[in-house]
Amino acid sequence: MSPPPDWRAERPGLLCSPLHRSVLPWLQRLTDSEFPSLAALNGLGLGRILFVPALLHAAGAAVYERRIFERGEVATRSGSWHDLFNALAWLSFPRTKTAINRLHMAELSRRHRAGERGHLRDQATLFDEGGMVVACSEPRLAQMLRDFAWRPLFVGRRAEVLQHMRFFVFGHALLEKGLRPYKSMAARAFTVSVAGELLRRPLVEQLAALDGASADAAERGVLFASREAVTPVPVMGIPGWSHDNESAGYYDDPEVFRPRNERSPPAQ
């Protein structure tokens, strides 16, 4: 097994990675001297949420969610890239992460006697791990994304995509995989219709607006109500996210850029 990525070596690349732009405001505030500690993460100032040491024994998902719900404590393993990106996602999308936690707790309360996990918790977990929030100021482009029109969108409308769309990774597992990206990576994307003016605002303001929109969708039951609420998006096909996709031939791979009438690309 290869050693885990080194923080000092990886941080410069993270600061210029489009895949990690959703957590850039926090990465910029973390020093490059050593892997971020819990104290460093808590020093970024999330408010009621604290990142605390994980329990020595495996506590399970229910205990993890209850600890957040009742005490505002997110169990975080020291030296873990997965848990670091989870913390950074909390910082960038606090309202949405809170909404997901509340959904888990409501479902745990409703289903605990039957011992069932349930569809909503499954969908919430998949989005929490591999989700993406897309801001789009042009409805035609959003529809093309939902229709899996990858080549017409990412090649034929490439300049419009760059002007009218912003893609922000939400899922912490996807952020971790972005350390070593590969062509078949896919996200579960929730698209938010926005005014074009928002896309010209500072990054932190864009993130706050999208966090509010996705949190509202989660709270209203829209985000996880059906599989149609999110669109599988081949991450490395997003314009500007890979030097390789500057060639139109990149999108000729049927195993990655599948049409809508075939099996949807999985969130990987």
- Rounded CA separation 153/43 (Å): 41
Task: Give residue for tokens 């029109």.
Answer: 149
In angstroms and rounded to an integer, the radius of gyration of the C-alpha atoms of the chain is 18
Within 10 Å of residue 103's Cβ, how many Cβ atoms?
20
Please report, for residues 122, 218, 221, 227, the alpha-carbon distance to residue 110 in angstroms, rounded to integers and kept in the order given.
15, 17, 15, 22
How is 200-252 classified by DSSP, letter by letter? GS-HHHHHHHHHHHHHHHHHTT-TTS-GGGSEEEEGGGSTTS-GGGGSGGGGG
Digitized pLDDT (tens) for each residue of the chain, 268 residues in all: 556 789 999 999 999 999 999 999 999 999 888 999 999 999 998 888 999 999 766 568 888 999 999 999 999 999 999 999 999 999 999 999 999 999 999 988 886 655 567 788 889 999 999 999 999 999 999 999 999 999 999 999 999 999 999 999 999 999 999 999 999 999 999 999 999 999 999 999 999 999 999 999 999 988 987 767 899 999 999 999 999 999 999 999 999 998 876 544 444 4
Strands 165-169 and 231-234: unpaired
Helices and strands, number each (H, E), in the chain: 12, 6
Percent helix, strand and coil across the chain, each rounded to 5?
55, 10, 35
